[in-house]
Amino acid sequence: MSDKIKPHHLARKALLYVRQSSTHQVLHNRESQALQYAMRDRLVALGWSEVDTVDDDLGRSAAGGVTRVGFERMVAEVCLGKVGAVSGPRSLPLRAQQPRLAAADRDVPRG
């Protein structure tokens, strides 16, 4: 296990975000999809016992204001503090989503 992964990370679930932007990619880039799904094994090897796969957005582009249900659910769970790790394609734009995540985090009720 990595020294960057702490018990409080492992106490929460890991999310595996599987995504390809077009139907063509889904149909013809099977190896890419298989490699993304295989990251589940890596998360388990790193110590996560609960790994949820979010693949609702396969074949959906982020362009043009298309709603990506899987991404929205992933952002919500991260903002609620339910997630200890997120794994996804290299192009996963979480850094670009930081302002949105921060705004959503301010809206989360604290108990």
Catalytic residue positions, numbered: 21
Per-residue HEC secondary structure of the chain comes to CCCCCCHHHHCCEEEEECCCCCHHHHHHCHHHHHHHHHHHHHHHHCCCCCEEEECCCCCCCCHHHCCCHHHHHHHHHHHCCCEEEEECCCCCCCHHHHHHHHHHHHHCCCC
